[in-house]
């Protein structure tokens, strides 16, 4: 009985002596009382593109993104072409966030003198807390209009032949502060292809990632595996586009330096017309510049 009383006293004494100088105990008490919130993941990728292809990110409502992208010729073109720097392929676009979950864009690229337009919507946002969602999911649909003179003017050439369409589903997860991964099942339909044997529909599976190197710099990689590239009647040899790059972010600007085997920057180009091979040195150096303006608050 005596020992028990002693123990109680001891316990009481300990409980009292635990309170720290600035009430750390109260802090610990509050820690248990903190209400749950939904914390949405931010910056899975720093811009709407991983490198060539779309990322799961959208421009926020009222944001205009002016993008200037540029690819030089191939490195293996030698000193005469200054290792590709004598040639330049560009893609310019204006993109705008209509809602936080919907954006549109229009662009013009050197490749096949293409005018393009796309809509991208956000379907799911990765979050934890009250609402737990392991991935972010977005959808992109694009349309591409070839602006070249007809290769064969004698043929019956309808305007509709100039069109291509791409649809992509972006499924991404930011695993931690440093590492994000995205899978991008894609479909490209071209109304007109080189030869009757070439497939009009190309299916591919893309994968992209971001590895953060410092607060404002990350390493990005992107690869698309074209599932029916070995179609038996395919006469135009195309390869799987692989791009590696560095993302540099300076409040409002995102600058990407890229090495890729695709000269085209829109989906119709890199999914359907990547003719370069990394192993042969058909590597294009390039960059993307994104400048965001807040037009509406």
| Residue carrying structure tokens 């635990």 | 18
**Cβ-based neighbours of 174, under 8 Å, separated by 6 or more:** 41, 43, 44, 126, 136, 180
Among 7, 148, 211, 213, binds another protein (CB under 8 A): 7
Among 42, 132, 151, 156, binds another protein (CB under 8 A): 42
Q: Which stretch binds another protein (CB under 8 A): 59-67, 77-85, 104-112, 240-248?
A: 59-67
The whole-angstrom separation of Cα 237 and Cα 243 is 19
Q: Is 26 in the site for another protein (CB under 8 A)?
A: yes
Choice between 113 and 216, CB closer to another protein: 216
The whole-angstrom separation of Cα 102 and Cα 194 is 34
Q: Is 17 in the site for another protein (CB under 8 A)?
A: no
Choice between 155 and 297, CB closer to another protein: 297
Choice between 275 and 294, CB closer to another protein: 294
Q: Is 43 in the site for another protein (CB under 8 A)?
A: yes
Q: Is 130 in the site for another protein (CB under 8 A)?
A: no
Neighbours of 255 (CB within 10 A): 16
Q: Is 60 in the site for another protein (CB under 8 A)?
A: yes
Choice between 158 and 253, CB closer to another protein: 253
Tell which positions 144-183 bind another protein, by CB under 8 A. Answer: 176-177
User: If residue 16 lies in a helix (H) or strand (E), which one and from where to where?
Assistant: helix 2-17
Half-sphere exposure of 253 (CA within 13 A, CB side): 8
Dihedral over alpha carbons 63, 170, 234, 282 (to 10 degrees): 60
Q: Is 34 in the site for another protein (CB under 8 A)?
A: yes
């Amino acid at each position: 009985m005596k020992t028990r009383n002693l123990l109680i006293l001891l316990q009481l004494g300990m409980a009292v002596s635990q309170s720290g100088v600035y009430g750390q105990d109260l802090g610990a008490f509050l820690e248990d009382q903190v209400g749950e919130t939904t914390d949405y993941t931010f910056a899975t990728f720093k811009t709407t593109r991983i490198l060539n292809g779309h990322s799961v990110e959208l421009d926020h409502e009222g944001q205009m993104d002016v993008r200037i992208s540029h690819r030089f010729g191939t490195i293996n073109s030698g000193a005469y072409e200054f290792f590709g720097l004598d040639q330049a392929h560009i893609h310019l676009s204006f993109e705008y966030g209509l809602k936080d979950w919907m954006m549109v864009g229009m662009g013009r690229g050197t490749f096949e003198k293409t005018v393009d337009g796309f809509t991208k919507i956000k379907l799911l946002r990765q979050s934890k807390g009250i609402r737990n969602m392991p991935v972010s999911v977005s959808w992109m649909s694009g349309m591409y209009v070839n602006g070249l003179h007809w290769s064969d003017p004698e043929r019956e050439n309808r305007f509709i032949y100039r069109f291509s369409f791409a649809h992509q589903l972006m499924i991404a997860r930011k695993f931690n502060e440093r590492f994000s991964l995205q899978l991008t099942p894609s479909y490209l339909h071209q109304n007109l292809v080189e030869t009757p044997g070439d497939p009009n529909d190309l299916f591919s599976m893309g994968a992209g990632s971001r590895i953060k190197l410092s607060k404002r710099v990350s390493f990005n990689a992107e690869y698309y595996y074209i599932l029916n590239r070995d179609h038996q009647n395919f006469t135009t040899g195309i390869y799987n586009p692989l791009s590696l790059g560095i993302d540099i972010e300076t409040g409002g600007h995102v600058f990407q330096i890229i090495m890729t085997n695709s000269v085209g920057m829109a989906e119709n180009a890199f999914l359907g017309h990547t003719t370069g091979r990394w192993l042969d040195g058909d590597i294009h150096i390039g960059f993307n510049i994104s400048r965001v303006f807040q037009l509406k608050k």
